């Protein structure tokens, strides 16, 4: 199983970016998918998560600016980021709690990270 994240880049303050993360491999089902970020010198923090039933939860710092969504048919999670601020600069990691085919326990997987830089 692999998680492949994409969509990061350099954007000016106030701009927008859309991150994508596709899970591939021998997947039976995916429970929660989410995005986390880690800024230089700081701990990794939760940005947003979404359940298989489309319930969502956001960090207070991104509420009203970021939107998480998922396409279950494509095993893909998205993060639409609007009104970006310099403090949003970080490496963004996708995460999925999933079950592999033929293996019942939930397992936690991480993508490789994609860098988002907000700067003028």
Q: Which among 49, 31, 30, 43 has a CA at the least distance from the CA of 94?
A: 49
The DSSP output letter for 52 is T
pLDDT tens, N- to C-terminus, the chain (120 residues): 999 999 999 999 999 999 999 999 999 999 999 999 999 999 999 999 999 999 999 999 999 999 999 999 999 999 999 999 999 999 999 999 999 998 889 999 999 999 999 999
Dihedral pair phi/psi, residue 96, rounded to 5°: -145, 135
In whole angstroms, what is the distance from residue 64 CA to residue 58 CA?
9
Q: Which among 69, 70, 55, 66 has a CA at the least distance from the CA of 116?
A: 66
């Amino acid at each position: 199983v692999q998680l492949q994240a994409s969509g990061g880049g350099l954007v000016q303050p106030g701009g927008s970016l859309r991150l994508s993360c596709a899970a591939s491999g021998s997947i039976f089902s995916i429970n929660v998918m989410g995005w986390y970020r880690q800024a230089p010198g700081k701990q990794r923090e939760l940005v947003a998560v979404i359940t298989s039933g489309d319930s969502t939860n956001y960090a207070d710092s991104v509420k009203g600016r970021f939107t998480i969504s998922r396409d279950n048919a494509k095993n893909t999670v998205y993060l639409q980021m609007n009104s970006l601020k310099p403090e949003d600069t970080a490496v963004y990691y996708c995460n999925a709690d999933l079950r592999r085919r033929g293996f019942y326990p939930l397992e936690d997987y991480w993508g490789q990270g994609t860098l988002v830089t907000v700067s003028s």
